[in-house]
Amino acid sequence: NAGVTQTPKFRILKIGQSMTLQCTQDMNHNYMYWYRQDPGMGLKLIYYSVGAGITDKGEVPNGYNVSRSTTEDFPLRLELAAPSQTSVYFCASSSWGGNTEAFFGQGTRLTVV
Amino acid sequence: DQQVKQNSPSLSVQEGRISILNCDYTNSMFDYFLWYKKYPAEGPTFLISISSIKDKNEDGRFTVFLNKSAKHLSLHIVPSQPGDSAVYFCAASARDSGTYKYIFGTGTRLKVLA
């Protein structure tokens, strides 16, 4: 039972490079989320999706893009990486986003140098 | 504007004693509250939740209390065990423009001393 799977686990990017963080879930959840966690801070919502084909911005969307072509996958794209995007990124999913818990992946630690 | 606040960044408790972690929120529209536990290099894992229509929910050693008038919730762990040492995040959700989102606090690092 895989749950939420994120790849890669670690990545070092140079300023200006681009990359895609992959996230897939096998629980047939409708809702998916991307969060970032900076040192000493809580989790900040970047983007979320309520179903395939539907995405919306969270609290800190600048510098990121997402797509949701299938129920299972919710990749996060970083264009023109900046040092401020150095963080740990978590993908999560929930069945319908209401009175239910979200399940998280293991995280991707990204460093931009 | 921090809608969910955990004002204690850290807490140390002796094994066997009670751990009390606190969380305050500002948005009266929040109707569901959750606690997550996070170990280093792992994703957060769900611990316990409470709906706004209740004031207490219990699951084994973990109890969450909700005081809606004070916009305050707390997580009690009794008895505390060394394996409970982790960062605990409080989260809240509310319906916003037809969808639900989870808003997280900054976390409290709990250390249970053997």
B10-44 per-position pLDDT tens digit: 999 999 999 999 999 998 989 899 999 999 989 99
- What are the residues facing A103 on neighbouring strands? A93
CB contact under 8 A, A99 and B49: yes
Judge whether B54 is closer than 8 Å to chain A, CB to CB.
Answer: no
Q: Is the pLDDT of residue B97 over 70?
A: no
The verdict on a CB contact (< 8 Å) between A104 and B49 is no
Measured between beta carbons, the chain A residues lying within 8 angstroms of B42 are 106-107
The reply to whether B88 touches chain A by the CB within 8 Å rule is no
Cβ neighbours around B87 below 10 Å, total: 20
Determine the longest span between alpha carbons in chain A, in angstroms.
40
For A84, the 3-state DSSP assignment is helix
| Omega within 30 of 0 (cis) for the link into B44 | no
How far apart, in Å, are the Cα atoms of A48 and each of A66, A91, A102, B78?
A: 8, 9, 12, 35
**Which stretches of chain A drop beneath a pLDDT of 70?**
1, 97-98
Q: Report the residue count for chain A.
A: 113
Its sign, for the CA torsion B102, A103, A105, B36, is positive
**Mean pLDDT to the nearest integer, B34-58:** 95
B4 touches chain A (CB under 8 A): yes
